[in-house]
Chain A
């Protein structure tokens, strides 16, 4: 088969119907562009919202949960091994919040190849004192460098720097807390712990995460300061936060660490399952809108090719009479739809990028999202590949039926009918 000749004929046919061809291609362009802009925007939004929660949640968190002992004394007794025992009114056992042997656990974890980094943390519930007012809250003692690499905590520090925490007795408090207590950077805040210790810390920064519940109660300090505040030694750690290279393996790995270290382990998916659901639903909505747009464009192409075939009956008849087979005619019309789909699709990719770029610079400022200044866009090559693939797919399918019809045109009927 002579592809050059078939393409040549297809081009000539298109040129004769330039206006309709452009309308058909613009349909494809529009739908692809909208698809890409929509999906990029939705996905950017998803990433932002996920980031709000997920980026600050470790992939795996190791801690001691307050819970009853798994092995009650009764189960240790040989006499009742074969019985079904009912024990009522069990009280949880306080094993202390401290992770036993934390230093060697952290050392082992840091050598694990699957783990990006480990950030130990001390959390304590405290009372912030301002004059006669007491506000309940939390102090997070953090390993400054590890915490910043894993959770980008510096993004959320509005005033001051997270590295200032390395000074002795310094603290960064949440925005809500500073507003309520009328404290600002440089002031001294008094803190009393549940065990009765009292300390005065210097405020070196204000943090704002964007979630009022957290900003109203949270504060950060260094590990050493937190340990001192609680009157504990340097091995006192309450949480070990782990981030993995492969986020999806969090579920099996959390089980592995649970048995290896005899600690409670929770993975981010279990901790934030409602966010995953939200992301999935938003993706489904944007993909289905995009695909509907493409299908509508496909009907447009079908219509135009169908009309073209009725108009070009004579041409088809003479092509067949002068030696073009039904197959050749079929390929002429399929090439027509491929040309429309490809040009429309490529322009669609360009316009999709342009639309995304426009959305990307539209200001979007809300008090709840201090790090976000414009609407978020996720520029991902995958959406562009899906767009062009689907554009070609729909145009070829919608061109196929008219092409088959054209290939079956009986030249004798047309020529004798004149």
Chain B
């Protein structure tokens, strides 16, 4: 059963130094299993986003240990971390962060090109497949600024999926969307876990969203309370 853990943390602790030394994450021990749809909930300032960015490997300034798929991540050089993010983690942020220089398909394919596992044709095929699953295949050749907010967020999800990541991490992915689009995005996540057994970790302060997930981690003052 060891292999079932996608992410594991041991004694994760982080301080902010500006303006004064302040402990944001206090000795967090957490593990997320394969196929789980997990949400992290908490008030603003509870450290939930900070925790997500520690797990994302982008923030390396912490104490304790982080393991992804039983591989120790802590202390690895920037180049390896970039490769791990590329291969194993898909991101969806509150803001879509699409590159305006590329069309929709180009945006989705970019992390795939970086991984270099598939040929261009295969990648295109896979990207179109994801866009179809998300119901936006007709926008594939459009520029990103021609899409609505909900559509952009769905493109961002397709981009997160392109390399078959171990886990998708989301930081308030519905935060910028209205109720209707938010529900669409949530349904997409739900479908991904149910049909493709995709592991998903979402940070949210929306209790409605959190309540619909499989597992809720509640944070307060840098600690997991439930």
On A, residues with C-beta under 8 Å from B are 2, 5, 8-9, 12-13, 15-16, 314-315, 317-328, 410-412, 415-416, 418
Contact = CB atoms under 8 A, between A and B. Distances in A.
Contact of A321 (B58, B79, B100, B115): B58
Interface of B: 49, 53, 56, 58-59, 78-79, 81-83, 85-87, 91, 93-95, 97-102, 106, 110-111, 113-116, 159, 163, 171
20 contacts: A2-B114, A9-B110, A12-B101, A16-B100, A16-B101, A314-B95, A314-B97, A315-B99, A315-B101, A321-B85, A321-B97, A322-B86, A323-B85, A323-B87, A323-B111, A323-B115, A412-B53, A412-B59, A415-B93, A418-B95
Contacts of A324: 82, 86, 114
A12 B82 CA distance: 22
The 7 A-B residue pairs with the shortest CB-CB distance in the complex, in nearest-first order:
A323-B86, A325-B82, A12-B101, A318-B97, A322-B111, A16-B101, A418-B95
Contact of B97 (A2, A317, A326, A416): A317
Contacts of A326: 78, 82
Contact of A322 (B78, B79, B85, B102): B85
A5 B112 CA distance: 10
Contacts of B102: 12
B82 A328 contact: yes
Nearest to A317: B97
B95 to A, nearest CB: 5
Given A2-B114, A322-B110, A324-B82, A412 B58 contact: yes
A321 B56 contact: yes
B79 A327 contact: yes
Given A322-B159, A415-B171, 6 more contacts: A2-B116, A324-B82, A325-B78, A325-B81, A327-B78, A327-B79
A322 B114 contact: yes
B87 A418 contact: no
Given A12-B102, A322-B91, A2 B113 contact: yes
A412 B55 CA distance: 12
B173 to A, nearest CB: 12
Which of A5, A320, A410, A416 has its CB near the most chain B CB atoms (within 10 A)? A416
